[in-house]
Amino acid sequence: MRPTVVVVLGGDPSFIDLSRFVLPPGAVVVAADSGLDAARAAGIPVHHVVGDFDSVDPQSLAEAEASGVHVHRHPADKDATDGELALDLAASLAAGLLPGAGGGVSEVVELVVLGGGGGRLDHLLADLLALAAPALARLDVTAYFGPATITVVGPGCARMVAGQVGEQVSLLPIHGQARGVSTTGLRWALTGADLVAGTTRAVSNEFLAPSATIAVAEGTLAVIQPGTQAANVKPRTTPYNPTPTS
């Protein structure tokens, strides 16, 4: 089993759905501020907690610190959200799990992120963007935000995503254009396609099988499974281009 780092973000505990996630043995768990409360409520053991601690229950934090949880305190007047601080810490811990030449990651470490948004749209978007940050580029990143599953696909690292036949899935280019996008197992296939930033071209695709493979040559994709089933859509009568370049 691959080494795994789990990040529990703060906010609404209902955004943490453990029905689709089992904590792997030996996983290192990082909580972002009130993510500590959410983790404890879900029965997830926490090893590190980070933030300015303006929203975590003080008693919960004190009990965690007394039990040996590593507490990383930051001032409230800071330049990053607690979620980003937690992801940065997770990247650092991942590098320590598998030290390669020069201290980098020599094998793939899985990063699982639970929760997100904290009930605010701006935080939700910031959390989504942070999942695809360059600091996490060498990790296999998967997030569970409420009913949605997010898989980050970077260049040269094809990812397999599991789903149900007819389940909807969207491919969003993030932090710029994604070039050379190819898929298998989806209703509307892409083959070496380019997805410009802001396009809706790959929104609301569908699983044709219980799994699909997604690859990108340049750029980064956020593959989002919102947890919805597709309606019956009649096939188009015009040709479908699986290789758009603009």
* pLDDT, position 22: 85
Q: How far is CA 16 from CA 57, 79, 112, 149, in A?
A: 18, 26, 12, 11
Lowest mean pLDDT among 12-26, 41-55, 136-150: 12-26
Q: Could you tell me which residue, 170 or 12, shows the higher pLDDT?
A: 170
Q: What pLDDT, on the 0 to 100 scale, is given for residue 97?
A: 79
The per-residue pLDDT of the chain, averaged, comes to 91
pLDDT score of 14 more than 90: no
Q: Rounded to an integer, what is the distance from CA 73 to the centroid of its chain? A: 24
Whether 101 has a pLDDT exceeding 50, the answer reads no
User: Which of 138 and 20 is assigned the larger pLDDT?
Assistant: 138
Q: Which of 37-46, 56-65, 95-104, 232-241 has the lowest mean pLDDT?
A: 95-104
pTM: predicted TM-score of the whole model, two decimal places: 0.92
By DSSP bridging, strand 168-184 and strand 193-195 are: antiparallel
Catalogue all structural domains in the chain, each as residue range(s) with its CATH number: 1-146 (3.40.50.10240), 153-246 (3.40.50.10240)
Angle (deg, nearest 10), helices 121-131 and 82-97: 20
